[in-house]
A = this chain, B = another copy of it.
């Protein structure tokens, strides 16, 4: 049997909240993320458990089963491939594609996903730098650093964002901070931990700690 739009969303969110190690996710965290009430979450968890998609014991939180993980990763694959399509082919900004991809990710057709993937040239990363799982469901999170961990004088490459909010992405656009750009930390203000950074050996600007905390970079 097929999984509903809603079921797929729960699985995707459980995946996201359970972290790299796949730890238990609480009912309240799910209620928060799904914008529903805890009671509704409990109902859905019973259903997903019956379908063998999650491990669930009352009051103990949930984890994905292997089969649930497979579904979740496939939804993520579709979401990220569609985001690439929207940005690379249709010319949307990286701040505009999330909601549309949220719909497209539930279109059911393996045939479609594989052709889309080929059409896009088998991209490894989406427009926010998030890795795209392959057709077999292998999802390797690259080990990037958060910009706050980088020392003065280091030059790093901007590889992704932790916050996907349009307002944050637009802020980066205005600052000229794009995926793949070079960032050199010039100095860090002790008082508020804001940083003076040079972008692409070109222009220099201040970024707040809030911004630094949400930038993923790669050392070279």
Q: Contact: A115 with B92, CB < 8 Å?
A: yes
Contacts of A142 in B (CB 8 A): none
| Other-chain residue from B90, B108, B115, B116 in contact with A115 (beta carbon distance below 8 A) | B90
Q: A89-B119, A90-B119, A119-B89 are in contact. Are A107 and B112 (CB under 8 A)?
A: no
Chain A 101-127 interface mask (CB, 8 Å, partner B; 1/0): 001100111011001100100000000
Contacts of A115 in B (CB 8 A): 90-92
A139: Cβ under 8 A from any B Cβ = no
Closest-CB distance, A84 to chain B (whole angstroms) = 14
A181: Cβ under 8 A from any B Cβ = no
A107→B104 CA distance, assembly (Å) = 7
Contacts of A99 in B (CB 8 A): 109
21 A-B pairs in the complex with CB atoms less than 8 angstroms apart: A86-B112, A89-B89, A89-B119, A90-B112, A90-B115, A90-B116, A90-B119, A91-B115, A91-B119, A92-B111, A92-B115, A96-B111, A99-B109, A100-B107, A100-B109, A100-B112, A103-B107, A103-B108, A103-B109, A104-B104, A104-B107
